[in-house]
Amino acid sequence: MKRPRNVLIKQSILWQLVFVGIVLAAASFGLHNALANLEARGISRGFDFLNVTAGFEVVQTLISFGEGSTYLRAFFVGLLNTVYVSVLAIIGSLILGFLVGFARFFAHPLSRGLAKMWIGGIRNIPLLLQIFFIYFAVLQSLPEPRDSFQFGNLIFVNNRGVFFPWIVDGEWVRPVLEGFNFVGGTVVIPELIALALGLTCYTSAFIGELVYASLKSVDKGLWEASRSLGLSNFQALRLVILPESLKVLLPPLTNQFLNVFKNSSLAAAIGYPDLVAVFAGTVLNQTGQAMEVISITMMVYLLISLLISIAMNYFNSRLARVRRHV
């Protein structure tokens, strides 16, 4: 039996209204509680706190951040640090990942075995554990600054980071040991090394597997065709197989980039001053404005995730278009 169409539509609209009603009721119930709770605890509301002077220090800043800087500036410091470590890790994991992928693809039993061991080992260990291992077990057990490993009296490696010469006011300044730590030059903090290295290793295993799968997905006939055109194995790989495999590789690779970006938030666990550690950590603790701070943080991650996927989709569609013309 078929019901008249208008009855179906009316029924469907009724259900949708009920659904909206339930969602709104739940939301307003939560919001009501939240407002009452905030009132009771005397926590102020709104985004005015962003203009208040922060008054804390950040160990690594890409933009100047001093005593008079505001919470808003702290937000940007954290965001830039997040982007910085993500970009480093993406570059690193691409290089290492392609290396692993090729090693796994080649008909060489030893390189294949090595790559398989890397992928199978790294992928099955939590990222946080790897970062903890690098940070607490390796970097923290490096010698104190006064017993640093040194390379030609220019580069110093110790448990406070890697110190090397840098241009200050137009001339090179060498790091010099003063008291308990080095001054002058510049430093790569151990938190950054641990986070970037951990993300690089972890992601390289995933990218390696993707590269391998994409190379394998290319039709065998293309190898034979390239050989019959007189291309060497290397030329065939570079000119035919790799471009062809990129088509398959790109979409899942985008996902890996997104993962790196999101996983960089593990910074909070070792104290690298990223968005989560600085903003959702220190700023939240100082101001107590949990609602505003956490919603801003989540919005930023959402927005950037969205931007990355839009950019990669655009790139991907261009690639697909180019290929069609060939």
Name which of 24 and 176 has its Cβ closer to another protein: 24
Other CB atoms within a 10 A radius of the CB of residue 285 amount to 11
Find the shortest distance in angstroms from Cβ 321 to another protein: 25
**Residue carrying the six token digits 């208008």:** 6
Closer residue to another protein in complex, CB, 69/192: 192
Nearer to another protein, 108 or 146 (CB): 108
Cα Rg of the chain (Å, integer): 26
Phi and psi of 142, rounded to 5°?
-70, 160
Least distance in angstroms from the C-beta of 11 to another protein: 10
CB of 305 to another protein, least distance (A): 4
DSSP E strand boundaries for the chain? 149-151, 155-158, 161-164, 166-168, 171-173, 176-178, 181-183, 186-188
Q: Are 228 and 272 in contact (CB under 8 A)?
A: no
**Bridge partners of 178?**
181
Q: Indicate the residue among 31 and 183 with the shorter CB distance to another protein.
A: 31
Contact partners, residue 85, CB within 8 Å, separation at least 6: 192, 195, 196, 199, 264, 267, 272, 274
Q: Which is nearer to another protein, 185 or 273 (CB)?
A: 273
Q: Which two tokens stand for residue 5?
A: 């169409």
In whole angstroms, how close is the CB of 70 to another protein at the nearest point? 22
Choice between 1 and 326, CB closer to another protein: 1
Comparison of 20 and 176: residue with beta carbon closer to another protein: 20
CA–CA dist 175, 159 (Å, integer) = 15
By C-beta, is 78 or 185 nearer to another protein? 78
Q: How far is the CB of 124 from another protein (least distance, A)?
A: 4
What one-character DSSP code corresponds to residue 218? S
How far is Cα 106 from Cα 87, in angstroms, rounded to an integer?
A: 29
Interacting residue ranges for another protein, rule: CB under 8 A: 12, 15-16, 19-20, 23, 30-31, 33-34, 36-38, 40, 106-111, 113-114, 120-121, 123-130, 132-133, 136-137, 140-141, 262-263, 265-266, 268-269, 276, 280, 284, 290-291, 294, 297-298, 301-302, 305-306
HSE, side-chain direction, 13 A CA sphere, residue 68: 0
Q: What residue type is 37 in one-letter code?
A: N
Q: Residue 5 — φ and ψ, nearest 5°? A: -60, -40
Phi-psi region of 185 (alpha: psi -120 to 50; beta: other; left: phi over 0): left
Length of the chain: 326
Min dist. Cβ of residue 284 to another protein (A): 7
Q: Do 293 and 284 touch, CB atoms closer than 8 A? A: yes
158 versus 289: smaller Cβ distance to another protein = 289
Nearest-approach distance from CB 91 to another protein, in angstroms: 20
Least distance from another protein to the Cβ atom of residue 318, Å: 24
CB of 35 to another protein, least distance (A): 9
